[in-house]
């Protein structure tokens, strides 16, 4: 297997040195050799703020993929939607496993547009999930 040398274009270096003032200062005072710049990765050339933003965005993407994200963030979602308190007596579904009425449901279009929406139900009491 061959190792591929990573080289950075002059335009990319100029752009990153303009944006990353601390890196530019390190090159000017000799902490970072100018020859080492061409071997640096994009993460090495980026500013601290852009690296933090990328890490935050990656965490948000990973959180959104979690199956229990909705359950953990239900309070935050309700607050954003203006729902103060959920009335458990008005639950539409009863859990077949534990007979609890503490259920939440969402609707999603899983088939073609002329078919009805699929209802996904989650029991808050025992964690049972089913679809209607």
The pTM score is: 0.41
pLDDT in tens, 58-104: 998 888 787 777 777 778 877 777 766 555 455 788 898 998 888 88
Buried b / exposed e along 2-29 (16+ C-beta atoms within 10 A): eeeeeebeeeebeebbeebeebeeebee
Kindly list the structural domains of the chain, giving each domain's residue range(s) and its CATH number in brackets, ordered by start.
10-65 (no CATH), 87-131 (2.20.25.10)
More confident residue, 53 or 75: 53
Long-range contacts of 36-44 (CB under 8 A, 24+ apart): 37/8, 37/13, 38/7, 38/8, 38/13, 39/5, 39/6, 39/7, 39/8, 40/8, 41/6
């Amino acid at each position: 297997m061959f190792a591929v040398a990573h080289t950075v274009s002059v335009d990319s270096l100029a752009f990153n040195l303009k944006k990353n003032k601390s890196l530019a200062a390190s090159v000017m005072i000799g902490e970072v050799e100018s020859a080492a710049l061409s071997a640096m990765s994009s993460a090495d050339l980026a500013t601290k703020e852009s690296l933090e933003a990328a890490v935050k965005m990656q965490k948000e993407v990973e959180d959104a993929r979690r199956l229990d994200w909705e359950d953990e963030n239900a309070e935050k979602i309700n607050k954003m939607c203006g729902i103060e308190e959920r009335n458990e007596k008005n639950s539409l579904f009863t859990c077949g496993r534990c007979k609890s009425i503490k259920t939440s449901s969402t609707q999603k279009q899983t088939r073609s547009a002329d078919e009805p929406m699929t209802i996904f139900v989650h029991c808050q009491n025992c964690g049972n999930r089913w679809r209607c």
